[in-house]
Amino acid sequence: MKTKIILFTAFILFTTTISSQQIEWLTLAEAMEAQKKIPKKIFMDVYTDWCGPCKLLDKNTFQNPDVSSYISEHYYAVKFNAEGQEEINFYNQKFYNPNYDINRKGRNATHQFTQFLGVKGYPTMVFLSENGAPIMPVVGYQKPKQLELFLKMIKQGDYQIFSKPEDFENYKKSFIPRFRG
């Protein structure tokens, strides 16, 4: 009987720990440094403070236990404010937001790194390879099961076999999501 109680308690603690896992967000510099020790792809959330869908992504998708544990295990997760004032050093180039206005409420000037990445809308999730090369952006709010497709496709390298748009569409049709929510 004691063994059953101990096992049940351990199971509850384990599932509570797993379900409450949060994504550990890094700066791009921290992620690039971590890649030197343990190579992993980078998952970058490019957001703005005023963006409603960005806030929903944080609340509904990134809080999902399946999403947060998958990202935490397989990627270095980076949050980047597309209109912020952070200085970015990326492959011997420095990126700034020279027109950033600290007194401005709401929308601000676009950061040079946002432009470098080719981000056109918010939120945009950008995937970078283990050596920092951009793989692809995913634009717009994604529910957990929608984001799962991209997380797994990029992690497994399946995107490398696509030679025409139909290849992705066929991949998408055959993909079976496993994430909850």
Domain range list for the chain: 21-174
pLDDT at 15: 44
Region at 113 (left for phi over 0; alpha for psi -120 to 50; beta for the rest): alpha
What residues are paired with 129 via a beta bridge?
A: none
pLDDT at 21: 76
pLDDT at 94: 98
pLDDT in tens, 102-153: 999 899 999 999 999 999 999 999 999 999 999 999 999 999 999 999 999 9
Q: How far apart are CA 11 and CA 17, in angstroms?
A: 10
Q: How far apart are CA 28 and CA 112, in angstroms?
A: 14
Mean pLDDT of 88-112: 95
Whether 76 has a pLDDT exceeding 90, the answer reads yes
Whether 12 has a pLDDT exceeding 70, the answer reads no
Q: How far apart are CA 83 and CA 120, in angstroms?
A: 12
Q: Count the Cβ atoms, other than its own, within 10 Å of residue 91.
A: 8
Whether 90 has a pLDDT exceeding 70, the answer reads yes
Mean pLDDT of 44-67: 97
> What top-level class would CATH report for the domain 21-174?
alpha beta
Whether 18 has a pLDDT exceeding 50, the answer reads no
Q: Which two tokens stand for residue 17?
A: 């720990």
Mean pLDDT of 74-101: 97
Amino acid at 38: I
Mean pLDDT of 154-176: 94
17 or 137: whose pLDDT is higher? 137
Percent of the chain with pLDDT over 90: 85
Q: Are 31 and 42 in contact (CB under 8 A)?
A: yes
Q: Are 108 and 121 in contact (CB under 8 A)?
A: no
Whether 5 has a pLDDT exceeding 90, the answer reads no
